[in-house]
């Protein structure tokens, strides 16, 4: 392969965004320049702290959305920032959303205060949101989205109009079939299943290596087999052998755009993914790594089947094990059904 072809191949690979931690805040943007930030639980504190989630799209007029993730949501009715109180709106599922004009107050408080206060029905403080690092995190988003010096910036606004904010890059497009098959999935032969599990030395002690595979029909001619490999697994991360069975043939290692989320990234065939499972409703293969048993940190990826291989369509990441709530989206593709 020529150097030019090699460079083009590397450029074509997905490059999820990196996360950055500032004090008690973590922030990241995806390949479409949509950004998110999280207020984390401060290390070693015995006070009652609340996680705050902030999201802003890449568009010139994109609003800044703020959600409050209080454990005692039955008590939290308002949040106080820089002396100004804002009521919280309860959403289905228990989320609490701050009003649309709250973000500028948050930015002002980030410059001058150590914490936001979450208030109960009596106006008393029920918990707090740490602001350590918040100003730097919001400035980081302003910079990544090209907002500094414009009227849209949260931390360093200026006279430039919203139209000065650069347009976001186009997302990669993945084409998949919109016609799932109703045929039942086929299964691996006993020999193929034994080969997939490999070394079964732990079976004598635990018997867990005999955990049944998951079979799901991908399309009219292909079945997905997810084979748990308990012998190579940990306490809360389970390795899986992932195979695609073509009708009338033996299973073969799945081909994917992007190899495991853990270790070196590479394009090609791989037969091991961690905590894998097929979601029949979304038609996605979900894989992920938990940083600890609580599942509040780690990396998660989604793949879609295009009839030949699994295409990488989304990544969410959380690099801090500090009760951050939802992970941050670091990569996404536009999925089109044909």
Taking the whole predicted model, whether its pTM rises above 0.75 is answered as yes
Report the pLDDT averaged over residues 208-233.
84
Q: Which residues on adjacent β-strands are paired with residue 241?
A: 227, 272
Query: Looking at the domain covering 15-164, what would its CATH class be?
Result: mainly beta
Q: Of 7, 3, 13, 51, whose CA–CA distance to 327 is shortest? A: 51
| Alpha carbon distance 193, 241 (integer Å) | 10
Supply the pLDDT for residue 9.
Answer: 40
* DSSP conformation letters of 184-243: PPP---HHHHHHHH---GGGGTT-GGGPPPEEEE-SSSEEEEEEE-GGG--SS--EEEEE
Supply the pLDDT for residue 92.
Answer: 58
Q: Render pLDDT for 280-334 as a digit per residue (tens, 0 to 9).
A: 999 999 999 898 888 889 999 999 999 999 999 999 999 999 988 789 999 999 9
Supply the pLDDT for residue 70.
Answer: 67
Q: Render pLDDT for 137-176 as a digit per residue (tens, 0 to 9).
A: 999 999 999 999 999 999 999 999 999 999 999 999 999 9
Residues of the chain with CATH 2.60.40.1880: 15-164
Q: Render pLDDT for 18-53 as a digit per residue (tens, 0 to 9).
A: 999 999 999 999 999 999 999 999 987 777 888 899
């Amino acid at each position: 392969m020529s150097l030019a072809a090699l460079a083009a191949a590397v450029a074509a690979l997905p490059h999820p965004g990196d996360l950055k931690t500032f004090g008690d805040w973590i922030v990241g943007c995806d390949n479409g320049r949509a950004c998110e930030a999280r207020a984390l639980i401060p290390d070693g504190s015995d006070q009652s702290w609340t996680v705050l989630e902030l999201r802003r799209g890449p568009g010139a007029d994109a609003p800044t959305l703020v959600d409050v993730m209080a454990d005692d949501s039955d008590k939290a009715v308002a949040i106080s920032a820089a002396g100004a109180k804002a009521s919280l709106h309860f959403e289905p599922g228990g989320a609490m959303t701050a009003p649309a004009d709250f973000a500028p107050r948050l930015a002002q408080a980030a410059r001058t205060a150590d914490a936001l206060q979450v208030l109960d029905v009596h106006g008393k403080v029920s918990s707090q949101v740490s602001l350590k690092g918040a100003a730097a995190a919001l400035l980081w988003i302003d910079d990544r989205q090209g907002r500094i010096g414009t009227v849209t910036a949260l931390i360093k606004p200026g006279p430039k109009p919203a139209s000065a904010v650069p347009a976001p890059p186009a997302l990669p497009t993945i084409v998949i079939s919109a016609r799932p098959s109703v045929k039942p999935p086929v299964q691996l032969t006993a020999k193929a299943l034994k080969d997939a599990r490999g070394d079964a030395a732990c079976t004598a002690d635990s018997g867990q290596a005999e955990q049944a595979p998951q079979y799901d029909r991908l399309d009219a001619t292909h079945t997905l087999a997810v084979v748990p490999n308990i012998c190579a697994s940990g306490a809360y991360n389970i390795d899986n052998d992932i195979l695609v069975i073509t009708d009338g043939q033996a299973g073969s290692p799945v081909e994917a755009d992007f190899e495991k989320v853990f270790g070196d990234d590479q394009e090609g065939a791989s037969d091991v993914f961690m905590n894998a499972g097929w979601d029949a409703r979304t038609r996605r293969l979900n894989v992920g790594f938990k940083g600890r048993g609580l599942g509040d940190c780690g990396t998660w990826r989604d793949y879609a089947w295009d009839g030949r291989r699994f295409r990488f369509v989304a990544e969410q990441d959380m690099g801090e094990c500090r009760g951050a709530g939802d992970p941050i989206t670091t990569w996404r593709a536009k999925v089109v059904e044909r």
